[in-house]
Amino acid sequence: MNLVPVVLSGGAVGAGVALLVRELLHPQTALGPALARSAPTVLTRPDQEPDRDEVWGRWLLARLERLPGVRVPTMGLALLGQGPGRFMLKKTALAVLGLFCPVIATVPWIIAGVGLPFYIPAGVGLVAAGLLFLTPDLAVRDQAKRAREEFTHALSAYLDLVALKRAADAGAAEALEKAAEVGRGWPFLYLQGALRRARMEKIPPYQALAELAAEYQLPVLSDVADIMRGSATDGAAVYKALRARTAALNAELLADQATEANAASEKMTAPGALLAVLVMLLMAFPAVIRMLAV
């Protein structure tokens, strides 16, 4: 039997599966790009030219966005600092890969003289293309969820800093800006950009924070804006409200972490139980065979 077609087709299918698994695992973002992310409405230069991938992706987006099932998670991409063009280019490239990978895998079989109906690789290719086309949407949704969790952790420290500034008799705008300048992570850069825009546009800082919360679906930041809205009347009450919200937020974060840890432990229970059952079967197998042979 000639194994060359089997090896080549298996390698092609394995490469496609490896790319799919790599996309689904969502590797952690590099620290450098994560720290370099900033608020698009403030820190991105309006005259900055998009790169080649973004231009091609926007060209594809303009022609595919009217098709049913084609959508771009604009809010999630904006939170992650990614462009819609590059996102659409990635979706299209994965779909093309899924479409042609099964077809290419059948070429060695055809060369070896093994005939396959054309509709089999074509159907598998269409299914793979559809699945791979939806994979970037799932990845962006998961990454945006993790980014919001990261923002919530940073906001817990930010609330403590704002409360300390208010306790030192700093004004509302000064407390918000000085506290935001302490951090260097991307959540603090978003806060700095929103507060800088508030100062330039002569709007209250809590209004800029509320707009930022609505733009990226950050309900915790919306709570901060509501608390700071009352800072003009009673600074002491605002300080107590900030500390109380910080304590509640820390409790929520600890509860979420405990839930994730319990879920991870439960996921490990099934493999451990299966391994124990396999060991028991392996130990009992000689005795069972001896009894049956009698």
What are the tens digits of pLDDT across the range 31-87?
444 444 443 433 444 345 667 777 777 887 777 777 777 788 888 888 888 888 888
Question: What percentage of the chain exceeds 90 in pLDDT?
Answer: 0
pLDDT at 40: 40
What angle, rounded to 10 degrees, do the helices at 186-201 and 205-216 form? 130
Rounded CA separation 212/215 (Å) = 5
pLDDT in tens, 27-38: 454 444 444 444
Radius of gyration of the chain (CA): 27
Contact 217, 148 (CB under 8 A): yes
pLDDT at 41: 39
* Mean pLDDT over each residue of the chain, to the nearest integer: 76
* Segment among 7-11, 111-115, 230-234, 278-282 with least mean pLDDT: 7-11
195 vs 272: which has the higher pLDDT: 195
What's the pLDDT band for 20 if we cut at 50, 70, 90?
low
pTM, two decimals, is 0.65
Amino acid at 184: R
pLDDT in tens, 177-193: 888 888 888 889 899 98
Rounded CA separation 112/232 (Å) = 81
- pLDDT > 70? residue 93: yes
Which tokens sit at 247?
Answer: 């304590």
Backbone φ/ψ region at 202: left (φ over 0), alpha (ψ -120 to 50), beta: left
pLDDT at 45: 40
Backbone angles phi, psi at 47, to 5 degrees: -95, 5
* Segment among 89-98, 176-185, 284-293 with least mean pLDDT: 284-293
Q: Within 10 A of 157 (CB to CB), how many other CB atoms are there?
A: 17
CA distances (Å), 259 to each of 25, 220, 264, in order?
A: 20, 20, 9
